[in-house]
Amino acid sequence: MINREDMLELTRRMNPSRNCFVRVAGAYMDEEGFDNGTFNIHFGKLSQSETKRNLELAKTIPFAKTNEQLKEYEFPKGAERQKSMWSLLSALKKAELKDDALLSIFYEVIGENYKTDKEYSIFVFCGSYDVSVKGTDNEWMEGSEEVYDFLICAVSPLEGEYEPGKTEFGFLFPAFIDRSSDDNHIDIYNIDPDNVQIGVMDKILGK
């Protein structure tokens, strides 16, 4: 089960004055899952308006209804894990989205498994958060417990040319559990919990 407070803690680091993101990359996909263009940029190079739009897009995932729209899933163990996207996501995180070849593979995998009849965008954010120390009385203290490096992916239908609409699918990897990184789990978002993107979810989890 996802702790709502953990997610809210992350979203508090997703605003222009306290921004935890270092890079954003993405692709614009046609209805058949082929990309019509990609981008990859350091987050600090975005304009003020672009920064605000991208932060709102990224926040959709951790700010979603926990354990309804956003649910926690475990990757398989042992050799079965190789059937999942764990290795690809781990490599993307380690590269901080600077490897366009890995990103191209990621967009291709999503395109092959994401079901829609609309053009859509895939935005991937790379973030880093110094997890603040909390005392036994739940008061914030100086220093950090660990550095949580993570990816957020947001898949959205296009409302106009290169303009993402309301995010319909996405994920947070690795999961943020008990205020700590857990790369054995991933939090997956579906805007409609009764109509999930089962194909791409199965691909992510290696089912």
Cβ neighbours around 13 below 10 Å, total: 18
Helices 100-113, 86-94: crossing angle, 10 deg rounding: 150
Q: pLDDT above 70 covers what percent of the chain?
A: 95
Largest pairwise CA distance in the chain: 53
pLDDT in the model for residue 12: 93
Which has the closest alpha carbon to 203: 49, 88, 34? 88
Q: What is the mean pLDDT of residues 174-187?
A: 96
pLDDT in tens, 97-123: 999 999 999 999 999 999 999 999 999
Residue recorded with tokens 């699918």: 169
Give the pLDDT confidence of 119-135 residue by residue, as tens digits: 999 999 999 999 987 65
Q: What share of the chain is helix, strand, coil (3-state, %, to 5)?
A: 30, 40, 30
Residue 145's pLDDT band (boundaries 50, 70, 90)?
confident
CB 60 within 8 A of CB 78: no
| List of residues 6+ apart from 3 with CB closer than 8 A | 66, 177, 178
Look at residue 200 in the predicted model and tell me its pLDDT.
97
